[in-house]
C-alpha cells in the first residue's frame, strides 16, 4: 500500500467509525454485509410495493438500497421497510436535491435509514466536456464534506462511460473524479459489471481505490464478444473470487446485489443471487 492508498484508507476508516455509530453497519459485523438494490425489483414494486418487499425478505434479504421505488414520504418508506423486516443502508440520490435543500434531504434519508448515499451518475450539466466534469467533481467534493459532517457518506456510482476519456485528458473520467476529490469526501460505489463491460478489471480497480470502496454493486455480466448480457451472480464473466479477495484487502463493507434485467422474473434472479452471495460471503 502506497502513501496515497494509506491516506485514503485512514480517511475512510474515520468516516466508517462515524457511520458505525449511526448504526449503518450492524454492530459486531466482521464479514462484509450483503444487500439488495431494490431497483432490481422495480417493476413488481410498481404494482405491489408491500408484497414485493415481503418476497425479498422471504428470500433472506435483510438489508436493501432504496432506488427505483415509488415516490413516498420518508416515514412511509421507513414504515414499509419495517413492516417487511428490511433495513435500508444505502440510497441513490439527487445531487441537485441536496444542493437545493440540504437539511431536508439529510433528514429524509436519515429517516429512511440510508447513511450511504450516491448519485446514480453524473448530472448531465456536468457531463458535456472536461471542464464541466471537473466542475461536477468540485460539487461532489463539497457535498461529500457536508454529508460527512452530518454523519453520512457520499459515493459515486459508475456505468461504462466513466471509463472513457475526454479528448484533452489522458485519464479516464472516473480517475479524474477520484483524483479531484478528497478520499474522506467521496468514495466509489463501484458497479462491478459495468466496469468489466467497459474493459476494466474490477479486482484491480478495487485495489486501486483501496479505502474508497466501502459499498459496491455486486452485478454480473456475461460477455460474449460484443454481446453483453446481465445475469444472476455467478453466471457471468465476473471473476468473483478475485473480486472478493480484493474486497477483503480494500475494506469493502457492503456488497449490494443489483440486476437491471435478466432471464426469468426479477424474483428468480434475486433469489439465485442471494444464495450465491450468502454462501460465498456469509
For 195, residues 6+ apart whose C-beta sits below 8 A from its C-beta are: 158, 160, 163, 201, 202, 205
Residue boundaries of the structural domains of the chain: 3-275
pLDDT value of position 85: 97
Residue 34: how many other CB atoms lie within 10 Å: 22
Please give the Cα distance from 99 to 110 (Å, whole number): 17
pLDDT value of position 13: 47
pLDDT value of position 29: 56
Please give the Cα distance from 69 to 91 (Å, whole number): 11
Helix axes 130-149 and 173-180, enclosed angle (nearest 10): 40
pLDDT value of position 23: 36
Query: How far, in Å, are 94, 106, 113, 175, 200 from residue 97 at the CA level?
Result: 5, 10, 18, 25, 31
Give the CATH fold of the 3-275 domain.
TIM Barrel (3.20.20)
pLDDT value of position 2: 47
Angle at CA 214, nearest 5°, toward 174 and 199? 35
Please give the Cα distance from 189 to 216 (Å, whole number): 5
pLDDT in tens for each of the 282 residues of the chain? 444 444 444 444 444 444 433 333 355 557 899 999 999 999 999 999 999 999 999 999 999 999 999 999 999 999 999 999 999 999 999 999 999 999 999 999 999 999 999 999 999 999 999 999 999 999 999 999 999 999 999 999 999 999 999 999 999 999 999 999 999 999 999 999 999 999 999 999 999 999 999 999 999 999 999 999 999 999 999 999 999 999 999 999 999 999 999 989 999 999 999 999 999 997
Helix axes 49-59 and 74-84, enclosed angle (nearest 10): 40
pLDDT value of position 258: 98
DSSP string, 210-223: TTS-SEEEE-EEEE
For 8, residues 6+ apart whose C-beta sits below 8 A from its C-beta are: 183, 209, 210, 211, 212
pLDDT value of position 282: 74
Amino acid at each position: 500500500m502506497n502513501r496515497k492508498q494509506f491516506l485514503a484508507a485512514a480517511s475512510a476508516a474515520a468516516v466508517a467509525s462515524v457511520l458505525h455509530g449511526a448504526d449503518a453497519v450492524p454492530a459486531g459485523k466482521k464479514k462484509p454485509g450483503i444487500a439488495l438494490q431494490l431497483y432490481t425489483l422495480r417493476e413488481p414494486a410498481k404494482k405491489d410495493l408491500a408484497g414485493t418487499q415481503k418476497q425479498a425478505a422471504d428470500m433472506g434479504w435483510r438489508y436493501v438500497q432504496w432506488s427505483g421505488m415509488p415516490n413516498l414520504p420518508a416515514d412511509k418508506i421507513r414504515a414499509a421497510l419495517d413492516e417487511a423486516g428490511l433495513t435500508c443502508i444505502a440510497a441513490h440520490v439527487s445531487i441537485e436535491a441536496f444542493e437545493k435543500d440540504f437539511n431536508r434531504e439529510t433528514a429524509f434519508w436519515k429517516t429512511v435509514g440510508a447513511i450511504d448515499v450516491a448519485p446514480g451518475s453524473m448530472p448531465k450539466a456536468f457531463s458535456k466536456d472536461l471542464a464541466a466534469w471537473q466542475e461536477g467533481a468540485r460539487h461532489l467534493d463539497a457535498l461529500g464534506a457536508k454529508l460527512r459532517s452530518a454523519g453520512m457518506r457520499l459515493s459515486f456510482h459508475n456505468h461504462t462511460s466513466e471509463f472513457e476519456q475526454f479528448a484533452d485528458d489522458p485519464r479516464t473520467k472516473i480517475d479524474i473524479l477520484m483524483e479531484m476529490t478528497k478520499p474522506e469526501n467521496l468514495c466509489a460505489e463501484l458497479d462491478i459489471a459495468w466496469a468489466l463491460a467497459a474493459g476494466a478489471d474490477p479486482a484491480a480497480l478495487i485495489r486501486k481505490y483501496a479505502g474508497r470502496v466501502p459499498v459496491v454493486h455486486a452485478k454480473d455480466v456475461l460477455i460474449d464478444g460484443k454481446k453483453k448480457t446481465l445475469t444472476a451472480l455467478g453466471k457471468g464473466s465476473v471473476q468473483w473470487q478475485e473480486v472478493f479477495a480484493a474486497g477483503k484487502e480494500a475494506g469493502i463493507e457492503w456488497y449490494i446485489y443489483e440486476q437491471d434485467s435478466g432471464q426469468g422474473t426479477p424474483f428468480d434472479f434475486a433469489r439465485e443471487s442471494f444464495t450465491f452471495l450468502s454462501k460465498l460471503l456469509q
